[in-house]
Structure 1
């Protein structure tokens, strides 16, 4: 009996030791970190953010376990630059990703030299994992495993069909699913479940050592493909809101799986969870024009109004950070790198970060944010914010909540402390504030004088009193031909209302000068902005006639080849002539398709023209 008792005692002591060791390993190591990044989620599309028609119990529970922010931002209104900013702690311009990256195999994205969150955690002894969407480059050097992730599973391009795992923009044969850089096939299996299972497996495999997981959920980005369970739940909600809401609940359910996993492994108290969306909801045609909600804010995806960049954001670290807090202080996603580094006591933080450590504010919610200003720059749009004052250059409202007049609204001033809607432009009332903010913007390393809107140029020419008609179909969005002869040069913004655009096709017009006139030159204003798939026209062709029926031989001018030029500019193409004529036929030819290496490679390219100046 003594021998048996001793054996039992020894077994008991071993069990106690093992349990003590496990307990010690979970409570005395640095915390695990999970950053959950959703895709194209509206500013108020969680129950905890006031949504009454979207069911999100798990995320609402996460908010109660920590802090829910009402004034948290991302550094860009579209996917790739927002993600680059998150992972580097830098503005997109300093991270080297200012727009969405190319889907072309082998094309570069996030520069290899950038130091990422994954590299920071890895250098400090963490296991690192990426699950879900990447969208930061197709080359090996810019892929997840080269950017500090020990493990990666997901798609490299911007969006996929969730069952075939084929790239949603191109096809029909662009498969996009990879595990540690190797293409893998799970035909017909639901990608959100594949990703969720990989996330749970990653936590399970690394439960005894600190880990960092970037869980980049690809929902609610189109295509809207929620599970049938949630389709049924939202069956009475009008589409596309119903399918969008079902997708949000599909996210929420999988976040619940993750929280339950952490609980079962007794890791929840030792895990920091950050939740944020990469940008506002989409109003693109592939998203059926919407589905999401920006609440009181103007703007959506691709806009620098609040609805494009002010997004649901939660941080929870149970028993370590205050719980059930609603924080209205100012932060940007670039602040997560220094903040998480401080909370986890990490060393080797990269120099020259744009982010600011917010840890004291998180630990003491009554503390003011150390961030007092921030900058944004995307395409033509730019923003400088100081305190509650926010100035936008060339604003764009993708939520279509109101009209913008680019002659008066090219500089748009708001005071977010008084009105978050940004529906009233205060620029004329506060010219001193406008000047102060412009000076602050120009002090930023990426602010430039050419970014500042100038008064619209007035041009008097022979075409000012002429009539113009199109002989080729116009794009549905750009049919106001009067802007081509109204004497106004367009702002450096294709959405300003002063431009006529065409996608993948050519344009042709006949201009009636109402009398035979001597002509010496014709000029056409045009735009080049490859970030928005806009390229300089290829050629301008002129025909002349006295009766408007019989036109002579063409005079053709070729523009400089700019298809590989990545810079944005507005220019004027001029052709010298020596003619007397009443009627002028003018044909503008575009490049047709976006060039190789461009994110839209093979898709229709745009061109935009403004004033046709006849002298």
Structure 2
């Protein structure tokens, strides 16, 4: 009996030793890291963020397992530069990618010399994987495998159909599904399931090694294609909110699969999970004008108001970081790179970053954020934030929550501590704060005096009291032709209210000067901003009449602008004339479709004109 007891005791001691060794080994193993990045998700669109009409039990549980941020931002309001910032720890301007990348095969994206999160973890002995959306370039040098990922599966362009895996935005339909640089075909299979299965496979294959996985989920970006299960669940919710909500629940369900997998492999306690959206919800036509919700915040995707950049963000590391924390401190996605490097105690660490290590704040939730300032610059919009004060230059409200008057709101100041809605411009009330923030913005390496709005230029000319009518249909958003003769030049922003735009078609106008006058010069203001698919007009034709019925032969001027130019600017096209006339017929001709090499290749191009100055 004693011999038997001694044997049992020996076996028990051996088991304790093995378990203790396993426990010791796991706690001395580098933690795995999973960064989950969703696509076009609204600022409050999780149950844990206040959405009462969206079912997200797994993500709400993840938030309770860790920290949920209420002041976490991304460095850009659109997909590609936001992702570049995340993966490099740098502002998009320093990452070398400030706008969405071209979908043209072979086109460049994230520069090869940029050091990414994948390269960081790979240099520290991790296996690295990318699953889902890429949208950081079509060239081999900017591909996931060239940017540090051992394994990659997903689509390279901005979005795909979830069943055919075709991209629709550029040229003919293009199949876009790749695995480690090679095109693969899973015709008819639901991409969220394909991506989820690949993510689970990556975890399974690397369960004995430390791994870093960038799980770039392509939802709730359009096209809204939820499964029947979730469509039925949201059948009583008005569209597009219902389909959008179904996509959020689709995300949540697959995050549940991932957490279950980590649990089954006993990896959850040794895995850091970060969850964030790349930018606010979309109000584009293909998103049916919306579906998402920015809650108390103004703005959505493409806007630097809070709704475009202040997004759901969670970090969880079970048994290592505090649980069930709501953190109100200031964080930007560029901060994840140095923060994760510190949490993982990496020996090879990144340098020359814009991000700030937030690890101490995560470990001590009562600690103030080490970040007090941040900068944003996207298109014409720019932001400088210092503490509670936020100043926007040339603001744009894609959520359409209020009206912006660019003559008064070109500089828009908010106190985020008092009012996060940004519905009231405090610039005139606090000119000293405006000046301080402008000076701070100009101290940033990418701030420029040319970015600072000046007083709207006025000009007096013969057309100031004239009438103007259109002979061609006007775009629904740009019908106030009177701005072309109101004596005010437009800001360098097509949404300022001083511009008339046409998409893919020409614009023909009749101006009645009310009396015959001697004319010597006609000048037309125009804009060139390829990043927003806006190109200089191709040509302007002007013909003259004294009775408004019979017009002489038109004088044609060709604009000397390279339509492939990547820079944005406004200019004035001048045509000298020697004519007595009462009526002018002006035909502004656009380039038709976006040129080759542009992300919108083959799709309608815009042109915008402001004041027509008649002398």
* Stretches of structure 1 lacking an aligned partner (at least 5 in a row): 1-6
Asked if 1 retains the 8 angstrom alpha-carbon contact of 2:103 and 2:170, the reply is no
Shift of residue 266, structure 1, vs aligned partner: 0.4
Residue in 2 that maps onto 1:258:
258
Residue in 2 that maps onto 1:450:
450
CA distance in 2, matches of 1:390, 1:12: 63
Asked if 2 retains the 8 angstrom alpha-carbon contact of 1:518 and 1:578, the reply is yes
TM-score (norm 2): 0.97
CA distance in 1, matches of 2:65, 2:589: 59
CA distance in 1, matches of 2:42, 2:588: 39
Q: After superposition, what is the alpha-carbon deviation per residue over 1:585-611, rounded to whole angstroms, capped at 9, x for unaligned?
A: 111111111111111111111110000
1:273 aligns to 2:269 (yes or no) = no
Asked if 1 retains the 8 angstrom alpha-carbon contact of 2:170 and 2:599, the reply is no
Kindly report structure 1 stretches of 4+ aligned residues shifted beyond 6 Å: 7-21
1:58 aligns to 2:58 (yes or no) = yes
Shift of residue 546, structure 1, vs aligned partner: 0.8
Counterparts of 1:349-498 in structure 2, within 5 Å, are 349-498=349-498
Shift of residue 16, structure 1, vs aligned partner: 8.3
Shift of residue 565, structure 1, vs aligned partner: 1.2
Shift of residue 346, structure 1, vs aligned partner: 1.2
Asked if 2 retains the 8 angstrom alpha-carbon contact of 1:43 and 1:280, the reply is yes
Residue in 2 that maps onto 1:203:
203
Counterparts of 1:87-106 in structure 2, within 5 Å, are 87-106=87-106
Counterparts of 1:225-236 in structure 2, within 5 Å, are 225-236=225-236
Shift of residue 18, structure 1, vs aligned partner: 7.5
CA distance in 2, matches of 1:209, 1:56: 30
CA distance in 2, matches of 1:519, 1:335: 59
Shift of residue 348, structure 1, vs aligned partner: 2.8
Q: After superposition, what is the alpha-carbon deviation per residue over 1:218-242, rounded to whole angstroms, capped at 9, x for unaligned?
A: 0000001111111111111111101
Residue in 1 that maps onto 2:580:
580
Secondary structure of the equivalent of 1:462? coil
1:329 aligns to 2:329 (yes or no) = yes
More deviation in 86-95 or 585-594?
A: 585-594
Residue in 1 that maps onto 2:148:
148
* Stretches of structure 2 lacking an aligned partner (at least 5 in a row): 1-6
Counterparts of 1:45-194 in structure 2, within 5 Å, are 45-170=45-170, 172-194=172-194
Secondary structure of the equivalent of 1:464? coil
CA distance in 2, matches of 1:203, 1:138: 27
CA distance in 2, matches of 1:14, 1:536: 79
Asked if 2 retains the 8 angstrom alpha-carbon contact of 1:133 and 1:158, the reply is yes
Q: After superposition, what is the alpha-carbon deviation per residue over 1:483-533, rounded to whole angstroms, capped at 9, x for unaligned?
A: 000000001100000000011111110111111100000000000111101
Shift of residue 555, structure 1, vs aligned partner: 0.7
Q: After superposition, what is the alpha-carbon deviation per residue over 1:83-122, rounded to whole angstroms, capped at 9, x for unaligned?
A: 0000000000000110000000000000000000000000
CA distance 1:219–1:495, shift in 2 (3 Å): same
Shift of residue 25, structure 1, vs aligned partner: 4.3
Shift of residue 553, structure 1, vs aligned partner: 1.0
Secondary structure of the equivalent of 1:248? helix
Q: After superposition, what is the alpha-carbon deviation per residue over 1:357-400, rounded to whole angstroms, capped at 9, x for unaligned?
A: 00000000000000000000000100000000000000000001
CA distance in 1, matches of 2:19, 2:207: 14
Shift of residue 170, structure 1, vs aligned partner: 3.5
TM-score (norm 1): 0.97
Q: After superposition, what is the alpha-carbon deviation per residue over 1:8-30, rounded to whole angstroms, capped at 9, x for unaligned?
A: 99999999887666555433211
Please tell me the root mean square deviation across aligned C-alpha atoms, in Å. 1.8
Aligned length: 611
Residue in 1 that maps onto 2:35:
35
Asked if 1 retains the 8 angstrom alpha-carbon contact of 2:501 and 2:606, the reply is yes
Asked if 2 retains the 8 angstrom alpha-carbon contact of 1:25 and 1:209, the reply is no
CA distance in 2, matches of 1:614, 1:354: 49
Residue in 2 that maps onto 1:518:
518
Secondary structure of the equivalent of 1:434? helix
Asked if 1 retains the 8 angstrom alpha-carbon contact of 2:338 and 2:350, the reply is no
CA distance in 2, matches of 1:172, 1:553: 40
Secondary structure of the equivalent of 2:145? helix
CA distance in 1, matches of 2:238, 2:490: 39
CA distance in 1, matches of 2:169, 2:15: 55
Residue in 1 that maps onto 2:288:
288
Asked if 1 retains the 8 angstrom alpha-carbon contact of 2:33 and 2:212, the reply is yes
Secondary structure of the equivalent of 1:408? helix
Asked if 2 retains the 8 angstrom alpha-carbon contact of 1:535 and 1:562, the reply is no
Shift of residue 352, structure 1, vs aligned partner: 1.4
Residue in 2 that maps onto 1:3:
none
Asked if 1 retains the 8 angstrom alpha-carbon contact of 2:108 and 2:137, the reply is yes
Residue in 2 that maps onto 1:346:
346
Asked if 1 retains the 8 angstrom alpha-carbon contact of 2:171 and 2:601, the reply is no
Asked if 2 retains the 8 angstrom alpha-carbon contact of 1:135 and 1:156, the reply is yes
CA distance in 1, matches of 2:215, 2:362: 22
Q: After superposition, what is the alpha-carbon deviation per residue over 1:104-146, rounded to whole angstroms, capped at 9, x for unaligned?
A: 0000000000000000000000000000000000000000000
Secondary structure of the equivalent of 2:242? helix
